[in-house]
Amino acid sequence: MFMASSICRTLVSNIVLHPITRLNPSSFGRIKCQPVRSMSSELSQRIFQLRFNPLTGNSEWVVIEESEEENSPKALLSSTSYLDMLNDSPRNRAFCKAIEKTVIKPCHVLDIGSGTGLLSMMAARAMDSSDAKHYTGSKGILSACESYLPMVKLMRKVLRINNMEKKIRIFHKRSDELKVGHDLASRANILVSEILDSELLGEGLIPTLQQAHDELLMENPQTVPSRATIYGQLVESTFLWKLHDLYNNEAKALDNVHLVPAELERILRVKPQQYAMHCDAIAEEIRLLSDPFKVFEFDFSKRPESHGQTELHIKATSDGRVHAIVSWWVLQLDYEGTIFYSTAPRWINLPFNCEDLQTQSHNWCDHWKQCVWFIPGIGILVSKDEQVDFQAVHNDISISYNLKHGDSKLEQGYPDFHTRGCQLILSPERIAIYGDREWRYDMLRAVMNALQKKVSPLCVVADDSVFLTILLANLSPSSNIISVFPGLQEKGAQYLQAVADANGFSINRVNVLGKRPTCLTTDDTDQKKVDLLIGEPFYYGNEGKLPWENLRFWKERTMLDKVLSKDVLIMPCKGILKGCAMSLPDLWRSRRALEIIEGFDHSVVNTTLGACGDLPVSQGPSLPYFIWQCGEIKELSEAFTIMEFDFSKPISLSFGKTKVFAMDLYFGLIGYSMLTTLLCCQQDQNIDIGNKE
């Protein structure tokens, strides 16, 4: 039995990007790096970046020196969305046109969050144009501000290869660290910046603009972009509902496990926030229940407020149940309103007059997506032409929504009295798995088989699975259970205490260690040996990793070998690394090697950013993606086994090689082919695996 949900689209697979072709075809939210601490001096600069080791659960600080070669931060940058963003041709073209239209004479241009320096180079070129040269007696100034040292080092290479290093001054600082009179000679006339995420505000747009208007910009500055408008739409979607409502989804399960008992509906749920996803991928499972409506509008040339509120009366366009609010934004890049960029889903007709930007609605990119806000519980039932009261509130970095229908107001975001202090927040993907009846039934059968003929067994849950802890306590009243909960720790213990009565077991039977399994000794087990070592595996806070990073369970099983009984049962007993050759042209285009972007050579960044294509390396990086979110997809081979890992034995070196016979390969698809892999965990060898993969 494979540890995979029947809601297969919630699975994360990794994609190995292979540069197997010389084709150069034309044309996921921005992944944020871990927080960094910086140190600087007159002689050198360095940052300390936190890096997580998925096989041990440990974190360590990585030191990045200013003087180090560019190869050092390669692993840090290849997992970000910089490459995807630079491959977004409609974005690049829109910014280029707006900057050329705005920078028409020598002036001071400030670029905040410069990245590779692309926008700064566009501004420098615009100043050097023939029209700008007609303005005599003044000199243009280009100030590029970038706080992330690996990107600063990369930007210097890009500027150098484009002969721009003497035209643009780089500041390795946060914009709120810049001082006029010390760093900048004067306030800037024009701000060019792209510090937007899928929600618009998540990268600190508002506080950045506030500080820039207060301290860095002239009065009434010009900005690129000029303004942004957020839109929303009420939708019905069973798929989206399953990603958050565990209480109602698990009600139909047959395992007698209540992760969300009655009267404790908020004890285990998703975080009330907007979730970035490609809604086009589930367009067939979405019913539109309203017309699009405007939520907020931000004028970048003016100082924004930290807090804002919008209240609207939304008329339902069809009968149905509102499960979610889908939102997107539209950028107006120039002051006159002729250049636009939108993250709208494809079902929205864009009202742009610029013909060459119309095609962008069909441009797949992973750095900007739509956002989804879940309506609590089963949602609200509406009838056609019925009014729904809508409220939106924004702070510095996020937007929240609320609906009022009739006499009921759907509040979310705060634990009720009974769950205060013991509430668990899980990802939508984990909620969907826990609500999947097939997955739960498979787990039930596997655990029942493992407990057969076991009398008062000592069971250790090696990961953060509250589900397996409750299932063990429910199925084996005589068992003693140790739940390690290396990520949940004390919060996991408080959660179990709150749901124990509803699940029919005494909390005294469960000992929560709240530390890594490698720290487990016979002192923790009262000198007893472990009869059952079990895990999903699931490690709280470490989801969305590469498939083989779940081998942390195997490593921890190895470290616990001394406390395991001779006839111990290990669940899962085996890990199977599977692969499939696939055509993913949209994803490939977003990760392809860069050449010339709007006239500027970016080939120097390809290796560092983990680009794919005609590069002198054996293969591209392995990155985790939700396959169903990757745009156009096509399987080119049968699924095949790459490696098998026997968890019943301590960890050892493993090697594997397999030949892939791809189907329906033709020349046009070779340039997009990738290898998709998924680590499946077999729970019980005595159970028919069937066709679940």
CA distance 135 to 130: 10
Long-range own/partner contacts, residues 388-391 (CB < 8 A, 24 or more apart): 388/234, 388/290, 388/313, 388/314, 388/315, 388/316, 388/322, 389/311, 389/312, 389/313, 389/314, 390/232, 390/293, 390/310, 390/311, 390/312, 390/313, 390/314, 391/309, 391/310, 391/311, 391/312
Q: Which long-range contacts (CB under 8 A, 24 or more apart) does 361-364 make?
A: 363/27, 363/88, 363/89, 363/90, 364/278, 364/586, 364/587, 364/589, 364/590, 364/631, 364/632
Q: For this structure, is 194 an active site residue?
A: yes
Residue 372 is given by DSSP the state: E
Among 100, 194, 250, 429, the one annotated catalytic: 194
- 334-359: string of b/e by CB count within 10 Å (b at 16+)? bbeeebbbbbbbeebebebeeeebee
Print burial letters for 643-682: b (CB count within 10 Å at least 16), e (below 16).
bebebeeebeeeeeeeeeebeeeeeebebbbbbbbbbbbb
Residue 98 DSSP label: H
Helix 466-475 and helix 490-499: axis angle, to 10°?
A: 40
- The continuous run of DSSP H or E covering 296 comes out as strand 293-299
**Catalytic annotation, pick one of 70, 203, 297, 644:** 203
CA–CA distance, 281 with 171 (Å, rounded to integer):
40
64 and 40 Cβ atoms separated by less than 8 Å: no
Q: Is the omega angle on the peptide bond into residue 572 within 30 degrees of 0, that is, cis?
A: yes
In whole angstroms, give the CA distance from residue 322 to residue 376: 10
Residues 6+ apart with CB under 8 A from 82: 115, 116, 151, 605, 609
Which two tokens mark 20?
């197997």
Q: What contacts 576, CB < 8 A, 6 or more positions away? A: 2, 641, 643, 644, 645, 679, 680, 681, 682
Residues in the chain: 693
Q: Quick one: which H or E segment has residue 669?
A: helix 667-670
Catalytic positions are 194, 203
